[in-house]
Amino acid sequence: MLRGNCARGTAALESLVVAAVICGCGGPAYEVAEVNGTVTINGQPGHQLRVQFVPNVDAGTSGPTSTGDTDKQGRFTLEMRESPTSEVRPGAVVGNHLVVFTDLQLAASATGAGIPVRVKPEYALPGTTPLTKQVAAGSQTIEIQFAGNGAAIP
């Protein structure tokens, strides 16, 4: 009889632990700030680019990646998801980020023929991008400039 009560107690404890994990008790361990920005290439709006702010874990920043697509004026607004099934929300994690770019014009092309390279390939992956940006608490605008050769201007 004692053994039966112990088994029920263990099962109840396991259920509570699973519920706590599913509910995400305690909430995220990071602060989020609203981020808008602009991208210019050789002084012109950097339209049709996907901008990703990837938290730089080497600099102590963790959390989800934030993404925004530039419009015709090169403007973007970062958005993030806490998990693949969660709602999209505006902002980026406060801290240091690796900034990654995808040229949507090039990505939409079957061959890429005739489309100039606007951003150097090294900016396409978190492991190779030399560009970092700091996201501070509060709402902010971040400017990103590229030279005609596809390299970011610090």
pLDDT tens digit string along 88-140?
999 999 999 999 999 999 888 888 788 888 999 999 999 999 999 999 999 99
What pTM, to 2 d.p., does this model score?
0.80
What the chain holds in terms of domains, given with CATH numbers, is 32-153 (2.60.40.1120)
Per DSSP, the three-state class of 112 is coil
79-81 vs 88-90, strand pairing mode: antiparallel
Q: What are phi and psi of 29, to 5 degrees?
A: -95, 35
Per DSSP, the three-state class of 51 is strand
